[in-house]
Structures are given as structure tokens and as C-alpha cells.
Chain A
Amino acid sequence: MARNQPTDPPIDLYAAVQGEVSWFCCGSAWGPCSSTGHGACGTCNSGSMQHAWPNTSDACLSITRPDACGVSLSRRTCGFAHRTTALCSGASVVTTIADCGPQTDLFCGERSCCGATCASNRLIDLTPAAFSQIASLSAGLRPAEISVP
């Protein structure tokens, strides 16, 4: 009997997605960040080219719940690389997963725009070092495209 073979990888696994990008601190830090650790992967540092991803494990996904916002994100684990491209400027940065986050479900439906270009739902958080390569830290939140480099 002929069987359908699953696509390897699944056809949508590495498709680019659009969503909101923000920044967070991790590792040794000052101020309100001083109690922050090195993240779920144990490697996160604000000065490194890293990011948080909402689906790094079952435990992570049970907290971030992007599915509650109608977003399906595949499982990607510590060290996996993503390219984040700011839709406002076109600037991009490649970073690796170092933590679980953001908590997508707490901001369901939120939309950020630059002009007529918008994206909804929080899908990725960059470290300050990474975010500041594509936007000013004072911007706080930006629409972005996330892809696999």
C-alpha cells in the first residue's frame, strides 16, 4: 500500500513569519534586570547576538501559548538561528535562541506599525545587542519578519 511520506522538513517549517519584535535583558545586568538569569538555555547575555523564541520546549510553549493567538510556531531549540528583519527599515540581524519567550498570549492581537506596514502578535524578543542593530532601543517594539537564514 502506498503511503504518503511526510515532507522532511514539513513544508511550512522554515517559512518566514511576520510578527512583533521587542527586546529583553538577560545575564548579568543592572537595574530591574539585575535579578534576571541566563535564560532557559543558560547562555543568554544582553550583549550577545541572541533571542528568545516561544516554542523551545513543551514547558516553554505551555507558558507562551502563541496558539492562543492563532499562531503556530514550530519547535526550535537552543542555538537555532533566526534572521529578524525590521519591516520599518529593512535592517536585519541573525541571532540564536538563548531563552524561552516572549509570552505571546498576554499580548494577543496587539499590532505595531510603521506607516502602512504592520505586524501582529509578539513572536520574538531580541537581546539589546541584537535589537539595537535593527532599531533604536527606545523604539521598544517593531513589526518584523522572522526567517531562517
Chain B
Amino acid sequence: MTTRRQVLRSAVLGGGATVLAATALGSLGPEAAFGAAAPAVTPGAPDPNFAEGRIRSIKDNTLFVLGSNMVFHRIRVVDGTSLWKLGPVAFDQAKPGDGLYARGVRMPDGVLAAESVWLNIVNIKGHVRTITSEKIHLDHNGQEILCHQVPGKSVAVYSDAPPSADLSLLRVGQHVQVLGAWRPDTNQVDIATVFSPH
């Protein structure tokens, strides 16, 4: 099976190599960077191949990200990088202020060559307080989150049933998990998937 890592490696060796090899890889070639499987990370320890934080600025194909723990990250997006923002998106959808999680390969110069970048993704659980055809008010640990249904994007998964665009089976008072995209600096989320136990 071809892994994302292999796809990324191919991208680096191909058209993306000119982007990545000249900068992120420093003195190493792409073969050295992606040839081996990622080393196992000590359980409980921070993963050096993972980053979280908010985008401070964007220059060329690099995201400059300040981690919530105040660690600064440079995240390089290459041809094989997958980006998510309520669904698969192009690089130009990444904006300063967006929160993110990123997984990739940490280069010797500290740059994270990204395999995947999830922009503004949240995965929160809570009780449904109120629900309309367009919005769900969610009580998440006492914090109200306003979840917006996005036509053509939002689906509900009722236990093991296939995803459905019909969210009308959700009920006030029930517990759900909302996977979605946070609207930066608000208590609002655009819904990708609502997981309901029944």
C-alpha cells in the first residue's frame, strides 16, 4: 500500500523537489529525508513530527506558526501535502489567524515538511441545547458553541449508518461529537460531521 509519506516523498523527488530541496532539506537530499520510516516517538513524549498553533504569517509555501505553548514552527507545504479546512482545500485557503495541527517530517533545520495540515479543525463533544435547521447550540463543558450547518458540507453519522446530509434526527439534550472548522476568534464552528450514538 502506498502511504502518504511515500506520496510526499515522490512529490519531493518530482516537481516538489525544487521547492523543498533548496530550502527545507538544507544539506540533505530528499531521499535522506523521506527514505526511512518515521522513528518511533517515546510514549508520553512530544512528537517532533507534529505541530499545533496559530498561523502568524505566510511566506511563499511556508506557514509561520506560533504554538499554544509559545514554541515557534515553520511548516513547509509541498506538492504532496494534504490540507483540510472543512474539507480538502488548496494552500491559498490557509490564512493568518487560523489554528492548525500539522504532521510531517522534521528537517534538520527545524522546518516541518508537512504531510497533512488540518486548519481550524476541532472535535468537540457536548449536549445539544437547541437546534434549528441551520444551527446547533452545543454545551461543551459549560461553554456554548454555536455550530453552523453548511449546505453541501455538513453531514451526520448516526452510529454505523452511512453519513447523511439530514441532521434533523438530532435531538435537544442528546450528546454528540462535532467535528468541524472553528471560525477564528469566535465560539462558532462550521460542521463537517456530527457523530450521534443513535
A residues contacting B by CB (< 8 A) are: 22-25, 27-35, 43, 45-50, 79, 81, 94-96, 98, 102-103, 106-113, 118, 128-130, 132-133, 136-138, 140-141, 149
Q: Mark B187-198, 1 if CB is under 8 A from A, else 0.
A: 101001101111
CB neighbours of B124 from chain A (8 A)? 32-33
- B125 at interface, CB cutoff 8 A: yes
Stretch at the interface among B9-17, B39-47, B56-64: B39-47
Taking a contact as CB atoms under 8 Å apart, the answer to whether B42 and A46 are in contact is no
Cα distance A144–B43 in the bound complex, in angstroms = 18
Cα distance A98–B43 in the bound complex, in angstroms = 11
Given contacts A30-B68, A46-B101, A137-B118, contact A111 B160 (CB under 8 A): yes
CB neighbours of B43 from chain A (8 A)? 49-50, 81, 94-96, 149
Query: Smallest distance from the beta carbon of B157 to chain A beta carbons, Å?
Result: 8
Partner of B177, one of A22, A113, A137: A22
Query: Smallest distance from the beta carbon of A120 to chain B beta carbons, Å?
Result: 9
Size bracket, chain B contacts? 35 or more
Total A-B pairs, Cβ < 8 A: 140
Stretch at the interface among B25-33, B137-145, B164-172: B137-145
Query: Smallest distance from the beta carbon of B31 to chain A beta carbons, Å?
Result: 23
Taking a contact as CB atoms under 8 Å apart, the answer to whether A48 and B47 are in contact is yes
CB neighbours of B103 from chain A (8 A)? 129, 132-133
| 18 A–B contacts from the bound complex (CB under 8 Å) | A22-B123, A27-B68, A28-B67, A30-B182, A32-B182, A32-B187, A33-B122, A43-B44, A47-B47, A48-B47, A102-B125, A106-B125, A106-B197, A108-B197, A111-B159, A137-B84, A137-B101, A140-B192
CB neighbours of A140 from chain B (8 A)? 123, 177, 179, 192-193, 195
Taking a contact as CB atoms under 8 Å apart, the answer to whether A49 and B121 are in contact is no
Q: Which chain A residue has the least Cβ–Cβ distance from B87?
A: A138
Given contacts A28-B69, A29-B68, A138-B121, contact A48 B141 (CB under 8 A): no
Q: Which of B50, B54, B118, B120 has the most CB of A within 10 A?
A: B50
CB neighbours of B42 from chain A (8 A)? 49
Taking a contact as CB atoms under 8 Å apart, the answer to whether A138 and B69 are in contact is no
Taking a contact as CB atoms under 8 Å apart, the answer to whether B198 and A109 are in contact is yes
Query: Smallest distance from the beta carbon of A134 to chain B beta carbons, Å?
Result: 11
Cα distance A118–B159 in the bound complex, in angstroms = 11
Q: Which chain A residue has the least Cβ–Cβ distance from B121?
A: A137
Taking a contact as CB atoms under 8 Å apart, the answer to whether A136 and B50 are in contact is no
Cα distance A148–B51 in the bound complex, in angstroms = 27
Query: Smallest distance from the beta carbon of A51 to chain B beta carbons, Å?
Result: 9
Partner of A95, one of B44, B99, B120, B159: B44
CB neighbours of A141 from chain B (8 A)? 157, 177, 195
Cα distance A140–B124 in the bound complex, in angstroms = 10
Taking a contact as CB atoms under 8 Å apart, the answer to whether A31 and B123 are in contact is no
